[in-house]
Structure 1
């Protein structure tokens, strides 16, 4: 199978025609509101889009223009981020509150307009305010532009059907309050269940006497090939995905094609997407569980509840019997109604190595060297937890398990927070009006300040020493950190090498790092402490996978390279929601180039207002199709 897929890939690339269908405008309306949903025998108010969880799928073709009219009927301020869409010279539509735009206020509307040029595959969209992306999210599919002489426009055998598989979590808590709790160092809230396409599945009880929760069902026909577009929309956990009796052929990740890779398990961290082909080649007389299981960090990390969930892959009878073939009708009856589905054997709870090797086996489909043999700039970023004194401006306070401190998340010992001016003016607006300034203020203990994100941590130590995970004298010495608006500027066109180093400081988490507006070449990954003298020789400079979200392994590192060729202001952050809320983020500024085509254009004529919102003129909101 793998060899056949690989051969077909190169044949299809060689046969590509230059005759392409014209681009189109894809228009959709998102009505964000609250609705009551009942799961686990409890009624919960949930913020959703168009009454759906997950929200509607956006389907476009490479090169199309997209307009999404967001109508905010919820009680929350919100923005929508188009995760993985490069937004070339259009960071005005990137959707980061008070960084690139003002939030859309309750009772107001806003329209996002952008193009999807030069991208193909599975991305997604989600809220970027509070923890609302836990329920405000959906898949974003960009198909290749069809060539007039070739119906097989994918660089792999054309599937019979395409199926979004969105892994999420079910929350019975106020997500806005949870975000505030995270920002103050309180990490008590946990999800109540995991979901596949919004359904909890039969591992969870409904009400007393009411049986189990409904699960998602994927009906397949024997011998047919299905393209699963897998999105991890969870706030907390990386997941393994497996289907009993079936094998995946991975063909893309984060809307970038990879050399077909055959595996029986997928590893998907928050923010990532994986495209995988599955052939319905198992025994049709049975049905099979599709299981999503979270990966846990082992002790001494705090042990939090985490839940697996499962859907069902059900073989259907293609045609009813006893009728002429021309009049036979399809029916979705399962051929195994009386049999329990076959369950897959899943990796162990603390198995992180399966994830590590899964990512290590991915390479880009096209053998193309990385942009430059040498980087223009290099950064080494340590990812950690730390603490600040609860009383702002206080330099000394008791550390460890102390009520005098707030737990924060850091990049090179800086925990991100917005500057005071961002209460009324987004950072991008201020930057656009004063692009000649360096954007760095003097330090001040009493207010949030803008500082340059250091290229290296202020202090070197044994980053992966497990003795740092529990509170103790060595940990307490490294714990103090600062809060500021961490910003790093790059010359337009600079080639940047960035090494992310996970640390054991108070935690053993992996870290899915997401860079807005750019893709990253994943040059290498490793366990333990990064050593340039040893590890640079391991860099894949020929066909590295390309991602917008890169998982930095637990107590390990990942080396990436990106080209700072998209002018504007871009958010870089961990996609674990609690890490983001606690400050594991920074703003990357890409300076203008020397031409108009390489410079940030003015803001659109209509922008969201921080004071009264933006109301669209009558007739601009299109009815939902």
Structure 2
């Protein structure tokens, strides 16, 4: 087996090829026969071959059987549409010399919100009902304005900043579509969701069409994951059941993008039963 990175951005990365050996517990052939078989060396695609990467990921399916069922939400209670991408932000310090246009700096956003890390832990503020001054619960369900997400970028690519969270009632069925944008170049963003597995029900290139694309969603045996790549110049749709109360971080797994603000958090409220409520922190847990 061999593997190499998939990357679409201009940033440098380790382009090494890794190799592994796959051993079968009960091989069908005897050892002497295996030793006589030819060694098939895989021809790996280019590191930025988006078409190949997409075809490969589209082939991944859940087992969807009695032992490993695929409990895909068939109906949806809340729908979200997030844009994922880059933008510009004013220099944090007036005396700082930033290298972006008009003395700006690069930023990354979810729906044009560049996340600002709080000085108080989000989970702590939520549990003790002390959110004032720590975060707000007005994360947008949709982008602040529509544009040709994978076409010519808008003139104004300045971002907003804040510690905004999205709130979900317990046990609701959620659909989230994440759309890449061409602002400062289209890129593939691996989004990781803490606290949940989700089903990747659809993906495609270009702008997501809510009227036609859902008809092609796989609601039978989609892949169940906690990280998914938003295609470069495309979109991905996921579904999940909000059955894990607490505050859950969602962020790009490219650390530089996370540090620029490509992250957000979800609050899942308590359910009615005791086992559906967020447990208190240990009495000796140091406060942030």
TM-score range, shorter chain: 0.7 to 0.9
Residue from 350, 364, 369 that aligns with 2:62: 364
Instruction: Give the structure 2 partner of residue 555 of structure 1.
Output: 233
TM-score by length of 2: 0.84
Q: C-alpha offsets along residues 431-486 of structure 1, whole Å, 9 cap, x if unaligned?
A: 1111xx7x476xxxxxx863521011111111111x44xxxxx4xx2311111112
Structure 1 segments unaligned to the other structure (5+ residues): 1-242, 244-289, 316-334, 394-398, 442-447, 469-473, 611-625
Instruction: Give the structure 2 partner of residue 454 of structure 1.
Output: 140
Cα distance in structure 1, aligned partners of 2:108 and 2:240: 24
Instruction: Give the structure 2 partner of residue 209 of structure 1.
Output: none
Distance 1:497 1:346, change over 3 A: same
Tell whether 2:13 aligns with 1:295. Answer: no
Residue from 195, 199, 223 that aligns with 1:545: 223
Shift of residue 294, structure 1, vs aligned partner? 2.2
Pairing of 1:26-41 with structure 2 (within 5 A): none
Distance 1:449 1:404, change over 3 A: farther
Alpha carbons 1:574, 1:584 under 8 Å: kept: yes
Distance 1:351 1:433, change over 3 A: same
Q: Which has the higher strand share?
A: 1
Cα distance in structure 2, aligned partners of 1:515 and 1:303: 24
Alpha carbons 1:408, 1:582 under 8 Å: kept: yes
Cα distance in structure 2, aligned partners of 1:551 and 1:303: 17
Instruction: Give the structure 1 partner of residue 121 of structure 2.
Output: 426
Residue from 147, 172, 178 that aligns with 1:500: 178
Cα distance in structure 1, aligned partners of 2:176 and 2:112: 16
Shift of residue 359, structure 1, vs aligned partner? 1.4
Cα distance in structure 2, aligned partners of 1:391 and 1:534: 42
Alpha carbons 1:440, 1:451 under 8 Å: kept: no
Structure 2 segments unaligned to the other structure (5+ residues): 24-34
Shift of residue 342, structure 1, vs aligned partner? 6.9
Shift of residue 302, structure 1, vs aligned partner? 3.1
Alpha carbons 1:440, 1:452 under 8 Å: kept: no
Tell whether 2:123 aligns with 1:412. Answer: no
Rg (Cα) greater in structure:
1
Q: C-alpha offsets along residues 548-587 of structure 1, whole Å, 9 cap, x if unaligned?
A: 1111111111111111111111101111111111111111
Shift of residue 400, structure 1, vs aligned partner? 9.1
Instruction: Give the structure 2 partner of residue 533 of structure 1.
Output: 211
Secondary structure class of the residue paired with 1:483 = strand
Tell whether 2:256 aligns with 1:578. Answer: yes
Shift of residue 387, structure 1, vs aligned partner? 1.4
Pairing of 1:55-454 with structure 2 (within 5 A): 243=1, 290=2, 292-297=3-8, 302=10, 304=12, 306-311=14-19, 313=21, 343-367=41-65, 368=69, 370-391=71-92, 401-402=100-101, 404-419=103-118, 422=119, 425-434=120-129, 439=131, 450=136, 452-454=138-140
Alpha carbons 2:62, 2:70 under 8 Å: kept: no
Distance 1:440 1:503, change over 3 A: farther
Pairing of 1:471-620 with structure 2 (within 5 A): 474=154, 477-608=155-286, 610=288
Secondary structure class of the residue paired with 1:478 = coil
Shift of residue 346, structure 1, vs aligned partner? 1.3
The higher-RCO structure (CA 8 Å, 6+ apart) is 2
Shift of residue 370, structure 1, vs aligned partner? 4.2
Alpha carbons 2:135, 2:165 under 8 Å: kept: no
Q: CA RMSD in A?
A: 2.7
Alpha carbons 1:364, 1:543 under 8 Å: kept: yes
Distance 1:451 1:391, change over 3 A: farther
Cα distance in structure 2, aligned partners of 1:463 and 1:346: 31
Distance 1:563 1:598, change over 3 A: same
Distance 1:594 1:451, change over 3 A: closer
Q: C-alpha offsets along residues 575-606 of structure 1, whole Å, 9 cap, x if unaligned?
A: 11111111111111000111211101111233
Q: C-alpha offsets along residues 187-229 of structure 1, whole Å, 9 cap, x if unaligned?
A: xxxxxxxxxxxxxxxxxxxxxxxxxxxxxxxxxxxxxxxxxxx
Instruction: Give the structure 1 partner of residue 28 of structure 2.
Output: none
Cα distance in structure 2, aligned partners of 1:365 and 1:345: 28
Secondary structure class of the residue paired with 2:83 = strand
Distance 1:293 1:485, change over 3 A: same
Distance 1:460 1:405, change over 3 A: same
After TM superposition, what 4+ stretches of structure 1 lie above 4 angstroms from structure 2? 312-315, 367-371
Shift of residue 541, structure 1, vs aligned partner? 1.5
Cα distance in structure 2, aligned partners of 1:492 and 1:314: 42
